[in-house]
Amino acid sequence: MTITGDPAQRPSRTSHVPNEGTAEAAAIERARRDMLNDARPRRRTRIGADVVCEALIRQGVDVFFGYPGGVILPLYDVLADYPELRHVLVRHEQGGAHAADGYARVTGRVGVCMGTSGPGATNLVTGIGTALLDSIPMVAITGNVPGALIGKDAFQEIDINGITLPMTKHNYLVRDANELPRVFAEAFHIARTGRPGPVHIDITKDALQQETHAEHPSDEEVVAGLPGFRPNVEGHPRQLKLAVGEIGRAKRPMILAGHGVLHARAWEDLQAFAEKTQIPVAHTLLGIGAMPEDHPLSYGYMGMHGWKHVNRAIQSADLLVAIGMRFDDRVTGNVRTYAPYARIVHVDIDPAEIGKNVAVEVPIVGDAGRVLRALLPMVDAVDPAVRAAYFEELAAWRRESEAGSWHGSGAWRDGYLSADYVVSRIGVLTDHRATYVGDVGQNQMWLARYAGFQLPNSHVSSGGLGTMGFCVPAAMGAALGAPERETWAITGDGGFQMTFQELMTLVQDEIPVKIALFDNKKLGMIRQWQEIIYAGNYHSAHLLGPDYLKLAEAFGIPGRKAAAPEEVDEAIRWAQGVDGPALVWFEIAEEQNVFPMMPAGKGLSDLIEKWGGADE
């Protein structure tokens, strides 16, 4: 057959659709048409998007963080019908995920974030990963292309279900609106039950638009529908008895309190248990706040940049009672040399955490609160006098290590602004009763060490994943979650420059976050590692930054600078007085290190406390 110039002579072709005439082809045609023409009729029926809103309200969600896009628009189309739901329009989906995370950390409730398909979904991924590693209850919602277009590389289509599969507690792809009530009920149940974690729900656009009469399941129906999800919350009586025996025999016991204590809201149980048994409490980075730091039995923060006295106590302990922590490498260092004299009682709600990083003598699978409440009547009350020698030694170690801290730092003596000093002043001037949100790196360690935490869930920090850029967006969520407390975002110039677009969200949604920006014009922790571990071979550690006052001004946020120790208090008080968000630019010493430091691969007894001349 020859093709001639005359169109009439060409062979006829009715369509370019593959498999023309089949049901599949018709569905694709319909989906393509619907992508362009989807305004809902004035008088409308209940559609998938309504089910999503109803489910969020049923789960007690009052605020969530999202960013619209093509396939999630059906949901935004109905949002105005649900005034109970406050939607915060973020500037980047990553910010939305971190905000949901920050909200969840201060409230203990499930944080919700939302994005569209493709780039909207992939932008959420860092925030979901952050939530997974820190066991944060979160539900992330994404739209996806209409079901018939899945797998066709449609506009903004990516296999987000495949991407989030290894980094969520569970995930769903919903293609039928009738499944939405069950899926949402399950997702919230899974996210907050047992060891919390993020759950991702991907919903096709046609499911959001599909009419449905499906009813929301009861709590019992949800549990019955998840036979593979029955977390064990009660400690086994035999194991509890073994633990009581260990505790009774121990002469130098130490409690290691982790994030699990906060997840279980068991801070009072922890305190009661520690007081009855007279066991000092050390805490992990995420366990900060499990016990007020001014409590006589609170001993301090452990690990790579933890207090020397705490690590020393762990190394000499004969019993570690680990509660809701997972012996992360930042906590143990080299496991071979970790706590060499200690037997270990390990309480965790996730059986997979037990025996994962260290071998333990008494494993107890259960919820930290329930286990502590069960143990309390079983243990003998200990007279503090029995431990007098032990406590005296601990107190001496503590005095020594605290005296060698920022008071002696060279930066401080030379009139430079020392970051640890700023953190401690923020702690004091907020009466230790604000929410303190850290970023990642040196600022995170200074915050953990020097703010002086008194309240549970007042410390928000990306521990497991170590996500730079976490601070400002997480503080946004934290401020909305705990509006009765002041919220301080304590960030370095590196992390700040990753996500400061959310400053605009703070303004638009009137979220009164106070930002303490620690500017050393460096990626400080990178610089510190390069100085100490890579023989001073600095590369990419120096970081140019903008004029942060002009930057804040451009966003409409009042800003102020402090570059000398005597300006610190006034600047903090000024920020506290601002009605709304405020930024304080602290120009800190450029080459200050965080000490002590345990080099990676070394043990808790190998802390570096000084280096070169700068900090001597």
Partner 1 sequence: MSDAAATPAAASAQAATPATPTTPAAAPAHAAPPARSLPGGGAQHRHVIVAIVNNRPGVLNRVSSLMRARNFNIESLAVSHTDAPDVSRMTITLRGDDVLVEQATKQLYRLIDVLKVQDLTADPTVEQELALVKVRVADANRAEVIKVVELYRARVVDVSEGSVIVEVTGTEAEVDALVALLRGFGIKELVRTGTVVMSRGSGSIEEATKR
Backbone angles phi, psi at 63, to 5 degrees: -140, 140
In the residue annotation, 308 being an active-site residue is answered as no
Note whether 41 binds partner 1 by CB under 8 A: no
Piece of 125-133, 276-284, 288-296, 357-365 that binds partner 1 (CB under 8 A) = 357-365
Q: Which is nearer to partner 1, 541 or 604 (CB)?
A: 604
Note whether 388 binds partner 1 by CB under 8 A: no
Note whether 245 binds partner 1 by CB under 8 A: no
Q: Which is nearer to partner 1, 354 or 419 (CB)?
A: 354
Active-site entry in 169, 205, 308, 522: 205
Spell out the residues 6+ positions from residue 158 whose beta carbon is closer than 8 angstroms to its own. Answer: 117, 118, 119, 121, 122
Three-state secondary structure call for residue 518: strand
Note whether 351 binds partner 1 by CB under 8 A: yes
3-state SS of 266-308 is CHHHHHHHHHHHCCCEEECCCCCCCCCCCCCCEEEECCCCCCH
Name the DSSP class of 339. Answer: S
Interface pattern 469-508 for partner 1 (x via CB under 8 A): ----------------------------------------
Note whether 178 binds partner 1 by CB under 8 A: no
In the residue annotation, 35 being an active-site residue is answered as no
Question: Distance between CA 302 and CA 342 in Å, rounded?
Answer: 16
Note whether 318 binds partner 1 by CB under 8 A: yes
Are the C-beta atoms of 235 and 371 separated by less than 8 Å?
Answer: yes
Q: Which is nearer to partner 1, 317 or 517 (CB)?
A: 317
Count of CA atoms in the C-beta half-sphere (13 A) of 264: 31
Question: Distance between CA 400 and CA 609 in Å, rounded?
Answer: 12
**Which one of residues 117, 316, 435, 457 is an interface residue with partner 1 (CB under 8 A)?**
316
Active-site entry in 29, 35, 54, 156: 156
In the residue annotation, 211 being an active-site residue is answered as no
The distance of closest approach from Cβ of residue 280 to partner 1 in the complex, given in angstroms and rounded to an integer, is 16
Three-state secondary structure call for residue 407: helix
Output Rg (C-alpha) for the chain, integer angstroms: 27
Q: Which is nearer to partner 1, 102 or 363 (CB)?
A: 363
Scan for tokens 């990419």, then name that residue: 540
The distance of closest approach from Cβ of residue 166 to partner 1 in the complex, given in angstroms and rounded to an integer, is 5
Structure token digits, residue 592: 């200050």
Are the C-beta atoms of 543 and 524 separated by less than 8 Å?
Answer: no
In the residue annotation, 402 being an active-site residue is answered as no
**Which one of residues 138, 339, 594, 598 is an interface residue with partner 1 (CB under 8 A)?**
339
The distance of closest approach from Cβ of residue 171 to partner 1 in the complex, given in angstroms and rounded to an integer, is 9
In the residue annotation, 156 being an active-site residue is answered as yes
Question: Distance between CA 328 and CA 283 in Å, rounded?
Answer: 13
Task: Tell me the torsion sign for CA atoms 413, 441, 522, 555.
Answer: negative
Question: Distance between CA 73 and CA 79 in Å, rounded?
Answer: 10
Q: Which is nearer to partner 1, 97 or 339 (CB)?
A: 339
Structure token digits, residue 451: 């703010």
**Which one of residues 16, 42, 43, 336 is an interface residue with partner 1 (CB under 8 A)?**
336
The distance of closest approach from Cβ of residue 304 to partner 1 in the complex, given in angstroms and rounded to an integer, is 18
Which parts of this chain interact with partner 1 (CB under 8 A)? 161-162, 165-166, 169-170, 173, 190, 226-229, 251-252, 316, 318, 335-343, 350-352, 355-359
